[in-house]
């Protein structure tokens, strides 16, 4: 029978298909179990010889690790996840509030952990076939989500509950049984946009497009709306109604038959839950 709290948690993550790795642990003397008095990653770096490449979902290996290091913190590999790491000490809470104000509460509706340092990990499922890398803010550089908001995705990992933070506080889930939601489209766009496309146009919400766009932006906006609907796996009939509504609300109205070509092109081009970041050049060829 499993009695070690850390081992129990590590095995639960493995059952979810999340590879885990044992991490060092803060000691009673506010130091790291690695015994490096200058350690800058107290309780946050791997214990094993090959680091993240040793991560596994194998119960036997996990059991062996936590038998050897019963207090080891838990690292979860994020190759198949996209974790939004909000650090209020560097203004991350304010940055993310700005994103929520622009893109809606969907940016918060997912599996969430409270970190030992008082921040949050918002854990989303990575869309299939999409590569999203890690983003680390540093002095003089703020990532696409703003100051204090990092991203842990392919090639990264997070410290997972109930790991112990250097502050003496443990990481904890808000609702552990919740499943990670699909990465919201607004985050998907922000995290996959190439720099030249970020200059080309800002992310536009579906609501803005439905309310009507002006001449010069109608072509791109209607195809963008269709791609958003495909990403959200909206049934074609519903999507047809919404695209026609957006076309009618455009200034001047956009021809319905041309709007439906945009819809058909997006639904042919992308699978449900997918969809490329759409630039102006793509919309002109969407037929």
Please count the CA atoms within 13 angstroms of the CA of 17 that sit on its side-chain side. Answer: 6
DSSP code of residue 126: P
What pLDDT is attached to residue 277? 45
**How confident is the model over 161-196, as pLDDT tens digits?**
999 999 999 999 998 888 999 999 889 888 887 544
What pLDDT is attached to residue 3? 57
What pLDDT is attached to residue 282? 45
What pLDDT is attached to residue 204? 65
Gap between the Cα atoms of 140 and 184, Å rounded: 27
Gap between the Cα atoms of 156 and 60, Å rounded: 23
| C-beta of residue 96 within 8 angstroms of C-beta of residue 149 | yes
Task: Provide the Cα torsion 61, 65, 70, 75; round to 10°.
Answer: -90
* Phi and psi, residue 144, nearest 5°: -65, -15
What pLDDT is attached to residue 154? 93
Which runs of E-coded beta strand occur in 60-107?
73-77, 81-86
What pLDDT is attached to residue 141? 80
Residues of the chain with pLDDT under 50: 1-2, 195-201, 276-287
**How confident is the model over 67-97, as pLDDT tens digits?**
999 999 999 999 999 999 999 988 999 999 9
Q: Give whole-number Cα distances, 10 to 6, 34, 84, in Å.
A: 6, 20, 21
Question: How deeply is 73 buried, as exposed, middle or buried, from its count of CB atoms within 10 A (0-12, 13-18, 19+)?
Answer: buried
Element (H, E) at 191: helix 185-192
- Helical packing angle, 92-103 and 185-192, nearest 10°: 120
What pLDDT is attached to residue 185? 86
List the structure tokens of 104.
């809606």
Q: What is the pTM of this model?
A: 0.76
């Amino acid at each position: 029978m499993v009695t070690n709290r850390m081992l129990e948690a590590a095995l639960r993550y493995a059952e979810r298909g999340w590879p885990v790795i044992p991490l060092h642990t803060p000691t009673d003397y506010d130091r790291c179990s690695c015994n490096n008095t200058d350690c800058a990653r107290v309780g946050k770096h791997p214990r094993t010889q090959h680091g993240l490449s040793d991560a596994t979902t194998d119960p036997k290996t996990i059991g062996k690790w936590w038998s050897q290091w019963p207090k080891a913190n838990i690292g979860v590999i994020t190759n198949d996840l996209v974790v939004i790491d909000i650090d209020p000490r560097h203004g991350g809470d304010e940055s993310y509030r700005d994103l929520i104000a622009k893109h809606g509460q969907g940016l918060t509706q997912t599996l969430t952990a409270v970190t030992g340092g008082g921040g949050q990990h918002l854990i989303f499922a990575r869309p299939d076939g999409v590569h999203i890398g890690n983003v680390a803010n540093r002095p003089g550089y703020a990532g696409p989500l703003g100051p204090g908001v990092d991203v842990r995705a392919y090639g990264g990992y997070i410290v997972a509950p109930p790991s112990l933070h250097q502050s003496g506080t443990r990481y904890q889930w808000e609702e552990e049984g919740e499943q990670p939601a699909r990465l919201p489209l607004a985050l998907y766009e922000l995290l996959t946009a190439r720099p030249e496309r970020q200059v080309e146009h800002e992310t536009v919400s579906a609501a803005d497009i439905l309310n009507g766009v002006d001449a010069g932006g109608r072509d791109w906006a209607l195809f963008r709306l269709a791609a958003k609907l495909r990403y959200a796996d909206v049934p074609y009939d519903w999507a047809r109604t919404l695209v026609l509504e957006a076309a009618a609300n455009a200034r001047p109205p956009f021809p319905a038959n041309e709007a439906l070509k945009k819809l058909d092109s997006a639904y042919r081009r992308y699978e449900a839950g997918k969809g490329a970041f759409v630039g102006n050049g793509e919309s002109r060829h969407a037929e």
